Amino acid sequence: MFDGVQSLDVTGPLDVYAAANEYGGDYRLTTVSPDGRPVRTTAGLRLVPDMALGDFDSGVDTLVVPGGPQWWNAVADPPLVEGITRLADRSRTATVAAVCAGTFPLAETGLLDGRRAATHWKLAADLAARYPHVRVDSEAIFVRDGRFITSAGITAGIDLTLSLVESDLGPDVARAVAKYLVVFMARPGGQSQFSVRQQSPRPENSPLRDVLDRVAADPQGDHSLRVLADRAALSSRHLTRLFRTEIGTTAGEYVKRIRLEAAQALLEGGDEPLDTVARRSGFRTEETMRRAFRSQLGVSPGIYRDRFRTTRPAGAPRTAGRAASLDFGVPSRCLESSTTTDSS
């Protein structure tokens, strides 16, 4: 922990690990700050660490680095960066995680060079500019590259930590922890931080806005380029040019992303057969849907459903909210992992 850290980066993962200990885990949680003194969070809370970074002389199985909005202060703190480096290097098999802007001090160590990494969407450009050797993923909830795992902002710390618990103790324990904390089972890391329509640029062209809205409202509909152009009263060539210049992609790719998001929602919220999900989301065939999931999320639709399924009773209303949290540097004792966590 360090001054200016976001409190949810610290308390969220700690609560996940503490809850896991109620379901068979054996995590030993230790909090540290560069000098061992209390730190003040962005919310004004004072957090008291267990010890100073330099006094921690044990090995770690998992090191979690929190973040704060003023990341430039963290990367300019030599004791903090050196302490992260020392703990990460102490065990070459240790899992090293960073939540949100915690990716910055971790990147400052050089340990992320040549690796994929995630951070809060608002900070992705800054991360890429300061650390050109890091392959920044500006959309993913969290990214795993070898023993390094980094996440997006705020609530993504919960997803990241649940993923680590699932790797350590299996999906049943992770699901029990998620239920206890009243959050959804961990979102797969490759899931976007925002909905497709929400993250798409707002077009200046009114007919194009109407096209985007209609596709998002009815993924199952006929959204071929010709049909879309007719709806907008534009030529196919003009519409293609508008998609390229204002959205940064093709009409076909936009439609596929909308349908993928629709399929994700259907898989998360029901038990319909995969071929039914494919038809309702506009993919037409199960195989087409499977290829889209593999290429975009790195998992099959069936695995996606299994990973995201909640433990709510059948017929119960779907939980509307998520608990928020981001994560901090918690050296923790992780049991031998037997379950692989999807991260792409």
Which residue numbers are catalytic? 100
Instruction: Tell me the CB-side half-sphere exposure of residue 116, using CA atoms within 13 A.
Output: 17
Burial (CB count within 10 angstroms: exposed 0-12, middle 13-18, buried 19+), residue 262: buried
Q: What is the DSSP letter of 11?
A: H
Instruction: Tell me the CB-side half-sphere exposure of residue 319, using CA atoms within 13 A.
Output: 18
Residue type, 205: N
Contact in structure between 155 and 206 (CB atoms under 8 Å): no
Q: What are the counts of helices (DSSP H) followed by strands (DSSP E) for the chain?
A: 15, 10
Distance CA 190, CA 150 (A): 12
Q: What is the largest CA-CA distance in the chain?
A: 69
Using alpha carbons only, give the angle 126, 128, 132 rounded to the nearest 5 degrees: 135
H or E element, residue 15: helix 7-21
CB atoms under 10 Å from CB of 77, counted, come to 18
Closest CA to 156 of 130, 184, 134, 195: 184
Distance CA 103, CA 80 (A): 13
CA torsion, ordered 104, 107, 112, 116, to nearest 10 deg: 30
